[in-house]
Amino acid sequence: MYVQSSHVPELGPRGEGWVAIQLVLFAAIVGCGFVDVYWPHSLESFLAVLGLVIGVVGLVVLVFGAISLGQSFTPLPRPHARAELREHGAFRIVRHPIYGGIVLVALGWSVADAPLALVPTALLAFVFDLKARREEAWLVERYPEYAAYLERTPHRFVPGLY
């Protein structure tokens, strides 16, 4: 599996623009909680519990991914100089568990309390997909063994699906 870097823009030397876009979407997701758009009353309790479960699962995935990454963690897609390639922990299952965990937390919040937040949450998932592609292109350049990791770990965010 070859990752083409020419199709996804860098948005800065280390991908700073990707983080800026994320922050705008995070603000939009949170902001949607302050808009008076709610689920129908008959679904509120069920969706609140479902959203809480999704959010907690996302938080666990996010924390497990961050712990697995250790000091190699950076919000920027280009790995920093002291970073090491991580293939253990959460990274044995999917290539971007932190992104997947964040999307699940946002989805949980949207389902539980802010249905309008589903729109920026979907945009966030799309941005994370593009950011992951950019990051993978830089990882292939930096670590020759990353190509083999791509083959062993075919899913970006969700085991068995994507």
Domain ranges of the chain: 16-152
Q: Are 92 and 103 in contact (CB under 8 A)?
A: no
CA atoms within 13 A on the CB side of 139: 24
pTM: 0.91
Instruction: Supply the pLDDT for residue 54.
Output: 97
Residue 5 has pLDDT above 80, yes or no: no
Residue 162 has pLDDT above 90, yes or no: no
- Containing 54, the helix (H) or strand (E) segment is helix 41-69
Distance CA 131, CA 139 (A): 12
Instruction: Supply the pLDDT for residue 146.
Output: 94
Residue 6 has pLDDT above 70, yes or no: no
Give whichever of 7-11, 39-43, 124-128 has the largest mean pLDDT.
124-128
CATH-assigned architecture of domain 16-152? Up-down Bundle (1.20)
Q: Cβ atoms within 10 A of the Cβ of 45, count?
A: 10
Average pLDDT over residues 66-81: 92
Confidence band of 108 (pLDDT split at 50, 70, 90): very high
Both tokens of 110, joined, read 């949207």
Q: Are 68 and 89 in contact (CB under 8 A)?
A: yes
Confidence band of 28 (pLDDT split at 50, 70, 90): very high
Average pLDDT over residues 55-64: 96
Please give the biggest Cα pair distance in the chain.
54
Q: How far apart are the first and last CA of the chain?
A: 15
Residue 107 has pLDDT above 80, yes or no: yes
Q: Are 7 and 133 in contact (CB under 8 A)?
A: yes
Q: What share of the chain has pLDDT > 70, as a percent?
A: 96
The chain-wide mean pLDDT, for the chain, equals: 93
Average pLDDT over residues 119-139: 97
CA atoms within 13 A on the CB side of 97: 24
